[in-house]
Each structure stands twice: as structure tokens, then as C-alpha cells.
């Protein structure tokens, strides 16, 4: 019986997986295939080119840095000082402010791609990537993104291209997909429900009662923007959250943290940050904002929970312009019932409920990434997998993590590239 079971298991593991339908096109890539043309994809491509390694960069969007260009609001600025956000090889222009605007950052990224000669293939949505061990190549499939307006293309159906190459660089980011929670009664709610990635400005919400779900940097900044446009925001704070001042006496809190980390252990830096935040911001408990037990940097590094860097929302909470409410139990026609039984009226709901990686949806047959779509090996070692697999931008350390990964990945691939090309 046991032998029969073992034989059956052997037989099933030996069985070849069903082969996917043939791609309409096959492209042999001389060099790495980079998936994602955000800051991570651009910077690794630039570093590769600087070392003489060609690559192909694929993106599902029709432009570079689609997160920044298509899925963020107008008033957005970098919230870390500029020198923490520069990509390898190109400083920001001298006239940029300490916290560049979204427009400035996008201009910088366009200049970066241009200077490095990176020309991504757009409208290429990667649907699967797997390593073909027999051939020693990665097979990456991408569907042409067809716009609904393009009737002829829609009628012809999606074209699939298979890219085949020796190396695969995953650069699809920590914010690839929006998180959209489902609420009981959502179908009864009379107003619009949107994700913050669709929000541009509070102009559309003048005079309206808006329920903003989530109190990360997005939720806080959108509430502030709504106030500036005379809307009436309530913000759902369902759990504890760290709020830090963006600056203390003109010095960036982030810079203070980085400086202290040179001498002190992380737990102590966290304790100092919490103490300073208490001094600068006062007791937030009174406002309905509790601090988590873990420290702000610890939670950022281990769970990806970014502390809020306050740029003015707290003042509006104190003044009563932003109302804090607990978690949502259910939605109803005119608003939401909360977990404490209270009701809050709302004309619109904005979900500032965060983002997630999409790597598990398309990277098959390898366990380098966790189910959450992050490298299993923790920072600073998560940039290199097996068989020519790499990741850039999954460090939970923002743009500075992107840059440090990109340099390491390009260096590593360049060494392999030189070995391979010199033997030809
Ligand atoms: C609102 C906001 C503000 C931020 N501000 C800062 C900041 O001030 N400082 C900081 O350090 N960090 C900040 N971050 C963190 C952010 O992660 C980085 O700024 C940066 O965008 C990460 O770059 P990336 O290339 O890894 O990911 P992204 O910028 O998300 O780029 C990934 C690209 O991959 C593409 N893609 C995804 N899936 C596929 C697929 N299946 N096929 C093809 N293409 C695909 C996407 O279209 C996208 O263009 C912010 C994030 C957000 C959401
Ligand atoms: N100026 C800047 O540079 C900005 C930077 N960013 C960055 O973008 C990234 C994403 O930020 P953000 O979009 O704020 O996402 P976050 O993941 O940081 O925050 C999501 C928030 O939504 C809450 N949430 C999730 N699901 C629910 C639910 N069902 N009910 C109630 N609350 C819920 C979470 O609460 P809980 O903790 O309880 O799960 C959390 O407060 C971060 O790294 C951030 O720093 C964002 C905006 C501006
Ligand atoms: O803004 C983001 O999402 C970032 O990831 C930037 C960032 C990296 N490390 C941090 C620690 C505290 C606050 C922001 C960041």
C-alpha cells in the first residue's frame, strides 16, 4: 500500500505540467529580462547599461513609473529628504527642493531613463515567468495590454509574447496591486467608493462628507487635501499606528534616525523616535490614535508598515476638521456603521487601504518569494535568487532600498555576462 502510494506520487511528480498555449511571438533576449519600469526597473537597467549589459524592460503600463504618473494624487511630494531618493548615477537637479514634488520626481525619472538610454517595452503585462531548467533559460510571458477604445485590437484578441533570456529581474514593486477590502452592505452604499490610487484632488469632493478608510501616509494626506478643498473627512483608524513629525527643528526625522542608527541599535533608535514624537506631537491617544507596541523602524522593516510622517493632518485632527472613527462594521445607504455601534454619515468612501506585491500571481515554480510576494531571505540578502533570478525594490526601505538593490544586481549580472561573452 505504502509502495503503491509512493509509486503514484512518483508518477504524478514525473508528469509534465500542462503546457501553456503557444505564444504569438517569441523574443530571445540578449541579457536580462527586467519586469517593471518603475524606479527599480529603470535603475537596474541604467546600472546594467553602464556596465555594458543590454536588457529588455517590460511594463504593463504605457509609461515609465506608472505608480507615480498614474496612481498618485496631485499634491504628493517625496516625504524623505531628496538625497535618500536619488537613483544610482544621477543626482537631483540643484534647484529641486528638499522634498521634491511628484512632477519634479517624474521629470527626474524621465531624464534618468533618457540619459541611460532605457527604452522599456510598454503595454506588456507579464502573466507568467518560469525557469526552464532543461534549457537554462527564463521564459516570461506577457500579454499586450489592449485599450477598450481600440476596437480592432480588442476584436483581434490579446497577443502574447514569450521573452526568453538567461536572467530575470523582478522589479514590479511593493505597491503593484491595490488592497480593496470588502465591506458588508457595500452594495447598499449610495455614493462612490474608490481607491486612493484613483484620487487626484479634493476638488471633486467640495462640501461632501468623505469617509477615508485607512490612516497610513495616503489616508492622512488625502484627509488633509480634502480639508483644503472644504470637504468634510472622517478617517477610519482601526488599529495602532506610528505618527512621527516629518521634521524636528528643521531636521528631517528620517535623517535623525539614519544618523542614530550609525551608533545605536534599532530598538534604541525606535525608543528615541517615539520619545521625540511624544515631545513634538503630544499625546495622540487623546485624538484616538494609539501607538503600536513595536517601534516605527522595526515595524517598517519587519511588516512593511510605514510610519506616518505628519505634514499637517494632525493639526486638522486637533482642530476637529478631520474626525477620527474606529473600524467599519458595515456600510449602509448613507454611510457606515462602526465597530463601536456608532454611525457616520458619508457621501463618498475613499479606500486608503494600501497595496501589495503581485509577484506570486505570475512568478511560477520557484519559492524565492513568499506568498506575500517578498523575497524569503531578509534584507540585505534578498536581491539574489537561484538560476539567474534577481529582485530589486522589495526591501521595505523605499527608494534608497531600490538603489542599493539595483547596484548589487547589476554588478552581479555584469560579472556573469563578462564570463559568458568572453568565452564566445
Ligand atoms: C504614494 C506613494 C508615495 C511614496 N513616496 C515615497 C517616498 O517619498 N520615498 C521613498 O523612498 N519611497 C516612497 N514610496 C515607495 C515606492 O515604493 C517607491 O517610491 C517606488 O515607486 C518603488 O519603485 P518600484 O520600481 O520598486 O515600484 P513601482 O514604482 O511600483 O514600479 C513597478 C512597475 O512595475 C509594473 N508592473 C507591475 N506588475 C507588472 C506586471 N505583471 N507586468 C508588467 N509590469 C508590471 C508597474 O506598472 C510599475 O510601473 C512611495 C509609495 C507610494 C505608493
Ligand atoms: N508623501 C509620500 O511620500 C507618501 C508615501 N506613501 C507611501 O506609500 C505606501 C503605501 O501607503 P498607504 O497607501 O498609506 O498604505 P499603508 O499600507 O501604509 O496603510 C494602509 C492603511 O489602511 C488600513 N486598512 C487596511 N485595510 C483596512 C480595513 N479593512 N479597515 C480599516 N483600515 C484598513 C491600514 O490599517 P492597519 O494598520 O490596521 O492594517 C493602514 O492604516 C507607504 O509606504 C507610504 O509611506 C503614501 C502616501 C504619501
Ligand atoms: O515612503 C515609503 O513608502 C518608504 O518606504 C520610505 C521609507 C523607507 N523607510 C522609511 C522609514 C520611515 C518612513 C518612511 C520610510
CA dist., res. 402 & res. 408, Å (int): 10
Structure confidence at residue 72 (pLDDT):
98
According to DSSP, residue 65 is labeled S
Which of 39, 56, 61, 67 most suits a substitution to test ligand 1, by most atoms within 8 Å of the C-beta? 67
**Same CATH fold assignment for domains 20-176+357-422 and 179-354:** yes
Structure confidence at residue 17 (pLDDT):
55
Residues in Cβ contact with 270 at an 8 Å cutoff, skipping those fewer than 6 apart: 294, 295, 296, 297, 298
Q: How far is the CA of 152 from the centre of ligand 2 (A)?
A: 40
Written out in words, the top-level CATH class of the domain with range 20-176+357-422 is alpha beta
Flag whether pLDDT at 11 surpasses 60: no
Burial (CB < 10 A; 0-12, 13-18, 19+), residue 135, is exposed
On average, the pLDDT of the chain sits at 94
Distance (Å) of CA 120 to CA 36, 134, 150, 294: 9, 29, 22, 40
Flag whether pLDDT at 289 surpasses 70: yes
**Closest among 14, 118, 25 to 65, alpha carbons compared:** 118
- 236 within ligand 2 shell (Cβ under 6 A): yes
Distance (Å) of CA 402 to CA 33, 58, 68, 149, 174: 17, 17, 15, 35, 11
Domain ranges of the chain: 20-176+357-422, 179-354
Flag whether pLDDT at 244 surpasses 60: yes
Residues in the chain: 424
**Closest among 258, 264, 221 to 243, alpha carbons compared:** 221
Mean pLDDT for the stretch of residues 246-258 = 97
Mean pLDDT for the stretch of residues 153-167 = 87
Residues in Cβ contact with 420 at an 8 Å cutoff, skipping those fewer than 6 apart: 166
**Closest among 81, 75, 118 to 96, alpha carbons compared:** 81
Written out in words, the top-level CATH class of the domain with range 179-354 is alpha beta
Confidence of residue 151 (pLDDT cuts 50, 70, 90): confident
CA dist., res. 253 & res. 124, Å (int): 39
Which of 298, 307, 397, 405 most suits a substitution to test ligand 3, by most atoms within 8 Å of the C-beta? 397
Q: What percent of the chain has pLDDT over 90?
A: 90
CB distance 201 to 65 below 8 Å = no
Structure confidence at residue 4 (pLDDT):
37
Amino acid at each position: 500500500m505504502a509502495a503503491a502510494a509512493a509509486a503514484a506520487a512518483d508518477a504524478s511528480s514525473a508528469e509534465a505540467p500542462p503546457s501553456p498555449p503557444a505564444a504569438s511571438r517569441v523574443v530571445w533576449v540578449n541579457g536580462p529580462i527586467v519586469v517593471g519600469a518603475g524606479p527599480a526597473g529603470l535603475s537596474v537597467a541604467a546600472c546594467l547599461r553602464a556596465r555594458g549589459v543590454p536588457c529588455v524592460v517590460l511594463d504593463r503600463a504605457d509609461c515609465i513609473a506608472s505608480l507615480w504618473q498614474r496612481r498618485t494624487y496631485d499634491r504628493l511630494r517625496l516625504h524623505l529628504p531628496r538625497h535618500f531618493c536619488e537613483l544610482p548615477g544621477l543626482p537631483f537637479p540643484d534647484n529641486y527642493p528638499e522634498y521634491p514634488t511628484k512632477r519634479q520626481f517624474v521629470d527626474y525619472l524621465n531624464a534618468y531613463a533618457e540619459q541611460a538610454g532605457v527604452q522599456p517595452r510598454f503595454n506588456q503585462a507579464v502573466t507568467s515567468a518560469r525557469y526552464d531548467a532543461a534549457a537554462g533559460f527564463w521564459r516570461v510571458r506577457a500579454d499586450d495590454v489592449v485599450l477598450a477604445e481600440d476596437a480592432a485590437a480588442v476584436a483581434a484578441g490579446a497577443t502574447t509574447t514569450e521573452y526568453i533570456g538567461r536572467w530575470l529581474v523582478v522589479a514590479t514593486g511593493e505597491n503593484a496591486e491595490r488592497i480593496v477590502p470588502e465591506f458588508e452592505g457595500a452594495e447598499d452604499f449610495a455614493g462612490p467608493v474608490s481607491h486612493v490610487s484613483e484620487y487626484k484632488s479634493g476638488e471633486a469632493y467640495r462640501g461632501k462628507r468623505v469617509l477615508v478608510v485607512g490612516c497610513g501616509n495616503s489616508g492622512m494626506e488625502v484627509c488633509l487635501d480634502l480639508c483644503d478643498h472644504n470637504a468634510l473627512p472622517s478617517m477610519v483608524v482601526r488599529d495602532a499606528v506610528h505618527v512621527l513629525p516629518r521634521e524636528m527643528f528643521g531636521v528631517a526625522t528620517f535623517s535623525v534616525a539614519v544618523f542614530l542608527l550609525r551608533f545605536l541599535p534599532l530598538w534604541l533608535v525606535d525608543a528615541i523616535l517615539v520619545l521625540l514624537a511624544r515631545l513634538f506631537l503630544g499625546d495622540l491617544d487623546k485624538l484616538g490614535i494609539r501607538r503600536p507596541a513595536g517601534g516605527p523602524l522595526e515595524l517598517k522593516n519587519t511588516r512593511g508598515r510605514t510610519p506616518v510622517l505628519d505634514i499637517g493632518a494632525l493639526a486638522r485632527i486637533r482642530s476637529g476638521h478631520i474626525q477620527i472613527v474606529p473600524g467599519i462594521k458595515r456600510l449602509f445607504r448613507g454611510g457606515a456603521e462602526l465597530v463601536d455601534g456608532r454611525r457616520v454619515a458619508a457621501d463618498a468612501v475613499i479606500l486608503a487601504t494600501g497595496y501589495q506585491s503581485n509577484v506570486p500571481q505570475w512568478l511560477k515554480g520557484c519559492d524565492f518569494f513568499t506568498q506575500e510576494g517578498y523575497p524569503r531571505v531578509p534584507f540585505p540578502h534578498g536581491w539574489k535568487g537561484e538560476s539567474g533570478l534577481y529582485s530589486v525594490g522589495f526591501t521595505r526601505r523605499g527608494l534608497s532600498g531600490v538603489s542599493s538593490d539595483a547596484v548589487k544586481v547589476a554588478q552581479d549580472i555584469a560579472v556573469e555576462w563578462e564570463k559568458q561573452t568572453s568565452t564566445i
